[in-house]
């Protein structure tokens, strides 16, 4: 997750929040308040038609900035999170792992040539291959000349079961400035609910104890709890906030997306609003003044409904120095930040290396039984900058250009979603043409009519 701290740069004007009804008006007001906002400026240009989609693709392809690279240290996991795992269970995890030398070369190239800012060790469960995980952290922290070495950070995303076995290595990695963040996935404050969803008893106890202990043992690394909002875990997540707040400051919540990302229908705008209203209430009463920061991920699909529901106003949008859009609300000395993603990142700013060295332009391809089928190539046979360039000039460009003739263009939600741009790769998995409405969008003609009328939900 990007750091959504406000830009240090001074703003030249202050917009009056909540006054701009349309995305275009809101973006104009937001840019007036924060003149250096390249992402919002591109978004506005696409929304008004001043920038065409092929031109947008050309601009992005011209930038050599792979902001964030995820390396899967292993394809194994000690849990079986039914129905919500990012990885297709049929993926062959017995393939020979790529050599560490190949990974080192990829990291070095990304730092030297692609301004790599963030390295994430993912998994499935990265701490099931601790030798490789800590070795990569040690190597990645070594300074290299070039712009990528400025502001570089590395971290681990883990299900928390293995942390207690590795305190020594983790402490050493923090002390040696090799580890800047640790995200532990927990989806409920109720042990039974979490363990049921994760498929293994005792997981909550291990993960929650570890995350609390990490805040003391691994400072100054940023320790966070990362959760998925599901149709039935609002109470569990609120309880998780309550019991963790005395120690943990950072919380990330992502709404469950519909299939193929999960085997359920995902959560819609009503559940998201209900959850965020409950968080606001908790932050303003029971947890007031605790300096908590909850970041909620909002893709384009439901943005208009959530804006109409009063959750945020378009002119409250701001942008980090790294070009991530967000809205931040202060609630009694706590903060809720909406990380708002409408323009695509995978393929141009994000990339992933699987345990066997396969380079994926988009993590959504992990939903396929054989993600290699959709790979850009492999770091075994090519240098990372070549793979990155190919990802931009093939998949990324094709998806961007397909927006020019997209069937959603006349829809009221077009300017805040652009036809489900951030999940368009899924259409490739499903064999749906890129210019068609993606299957993840379940809006009906009645929904469109309500949105067209500007009715507040
Ligand atoms: S912990 Fe993560 S990788 Fe493992 S099964 Fe659960 S969702 Fe999948
Ligand atoms: S109709 Fe198209 S633009 Fe609107 S929310 Fe659905 S996918 Fe996005």
Predicted local confidence at residue 14, as pLDDT: 36
Top pLDDT among 456 and 282 is at 282
DSSP code, position 148: G
Q: Which ligand is nearest to the CA of 83?
A: 1
Helical residues (DSSP H) of 163-308, grouped into ranges: 167-175, 191-198, 203-217, 234-244, 269-284, 303-308
Note whether residue 124 is domain-resident: yes
Note whether residue 129 is domain-resident: yes
Helix, strand or coil, per DSSP, at residue 214: helix
Contact 128, 162 (CB under 8 A): yes
pLDDT band at 291 (very low <50, low <70, confident <90, very high): very high
What's the CA gap between 418 and 345, in Å, rounded? 14
Residue 422 Cα to ligand 2 midpoint, Å, equals 11
Residue 55 Cα to ligand 2 midpoint, Å, equals 22
pLDDT band at 13 (very low <50, low <70, confident <90, very high): very low
Residue 413 Cα: closest atom of ligand 2? 4
Taking phi first (over 0 means left), then psi (-120 to 50 degrees means alpha), and beta for anything else, what does residue 83 get? left
Note whether residue 109 is domain-resident: yes
> In the chain, how many domains are there?
1
Note whether residue 48 is domain-resident: no
Nearest CA to ligand 2 atom 2: 419
Residue 304 Cα to ligand 1 midpoint, Å, equals 31
What residues make up the domain containing 324?
Answer: 62-341
Note whether residue 89 is domain-resident: yes
Mean pLDDT across the stretch 335-352? 95
Cα–Cα distances in Å, from 264 out to 22, 231, 267, 442? Answer: 32, 9, 9, 13
Mean pLDDT across the stretch 306-310? 94
Is the C-beta atom of 419 inside 6 A of ligand 2? yes
Is the C-beta atom of 303 inside 6 A of ligand 2? no
Note whether residue 294 is domain-resident: yes
Note whether residue 204 is domain-resident: yes
Note whether residue 215 is domain-resident: yes
- Pairing mode of beta strands 181-185, 153-158: parallel
Residue 440 Cα: closest atom of ligand 2? 7
CATH of the domain at 106: 3.20.20.70
Report the predicted TM-score, pTM, of the whole model to 2 decimal places.
0.94
Is the C-beta atom of 189 inside 6 A of ligand 2? no
Residue 123 Cα to ligand 1 midpoint, Å, equals 8
Is the C-beta atom of 125 inside 6 A of ligand 1? yes
Residue 424 Cα to ligand 2 midpoint, Å, equals 11
Is the C-beta atom of 159 inside 6 A of ligand 1? yes
Please state which of the ranges 33-37, 53-57, 362-366 shows the lowest mean pLDDT: 362-366
Nearest CA to ligand 2 atom 4: 413
Nearest CA to ligand 2 atom 5: 301
What's the CA gap between 229 and 267, in Å, rounded? 8
pLDDT digits (tens, 9 = 90+) for 226-267: 999 999 999 999 999 999 999 999 999 999 876 655 556 678
> Residues of the chain with pLDDT > 90: what percent?
81
Predicted local confidence at residue 119, as pLDDT: 98
């Amino acid at each position: 997750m990007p750091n959504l701290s406000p830009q240090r740069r001074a703003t030249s004007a202050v917009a009056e929040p909540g006054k701009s009804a349309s995305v275009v008006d809101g973006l104009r007001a937001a840019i007036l308040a924060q003149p250096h906002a390249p992402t919002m400026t591109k978004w506005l240009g696409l929304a008004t038609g001043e920038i065409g989609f092929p031109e947008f693709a050309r601009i992005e392809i011209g930038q050599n900035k792979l902001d964030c690279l995820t390396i899967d240290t292993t394809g194994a996991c000690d849990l079986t999170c039914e129905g919500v795992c990012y990885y297709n269970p049929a993926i062959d995890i017995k393939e020979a792992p790529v050599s560490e030398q190949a990974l080192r070369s990829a990291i070095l190239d990304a730092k030297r040539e692609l301004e790599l800012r963030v390295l994430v060790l993912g998994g499935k469960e990265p701490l099931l291959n601790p030798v490789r995980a800590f070795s990569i952290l040690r190597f990645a922290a070594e300074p290299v000349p070039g712009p990528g070495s400025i502001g570089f950070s590395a971290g681990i995303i883990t299900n928390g079961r293995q942390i207690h076995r590795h305190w020594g290595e983790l402490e050493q990695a923090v002390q040696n400035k090799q580890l800047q963040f640790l995200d532990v996935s927990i989806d409920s404050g109720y042990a039974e609910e979490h363990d049921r969803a994760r498929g293994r008893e005792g997981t909550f106890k291990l993960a929650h104890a570890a995350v609390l202990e990490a805040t003391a043992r691994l400072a100054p690394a940023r320790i966070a709890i990362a959760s998925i909002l599901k149709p039935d875990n609002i109470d569990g997540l609120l309880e998780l906030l309550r019991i963790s707040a005395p120690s943990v400051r950072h919380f990330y919540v992502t709404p469950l997306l519909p299939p193929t990302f999960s085997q359920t229908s995902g959560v819609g705008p009503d559940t998201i609003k209900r959850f965020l209203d409950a968080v606001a209430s908790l932050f303003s009463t029971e947890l007031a003044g605790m300096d908590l920061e909850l970041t909620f991920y909002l893709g384009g699909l439901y943005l208009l409904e959530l804006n109409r529901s009063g959750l945020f106003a378009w002119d409250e949008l701001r942008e980090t120095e790294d070009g991530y859009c967000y809205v931040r609300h202060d609630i009694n000395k706590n903060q809720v930040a909406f990380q708002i993603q409408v323009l695509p990142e995978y393929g141009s700013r994000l990339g992933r290396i699987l345990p066997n060295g396969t380079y994926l332009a988009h993590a959504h391809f992990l939903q396929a039984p054989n993600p290699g089928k959709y790979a850009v190539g492999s770091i075994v046979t090519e240098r990372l900058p070549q793979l990155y360039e190919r990802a931009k000039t093939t998949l990324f460009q094709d998806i961007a250009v397909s927006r020019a003739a997209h069937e959603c263009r006349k829809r009221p939600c077009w300017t805040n979603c652009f036809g489900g741009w951030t999940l368009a790769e899924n259409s490739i998995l499903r064999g749906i043409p890129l210019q068609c409405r993606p299957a993840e969008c379940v809006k009906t003609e009645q929904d469109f009519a309500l949105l067209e009328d500007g009715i507040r939900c």
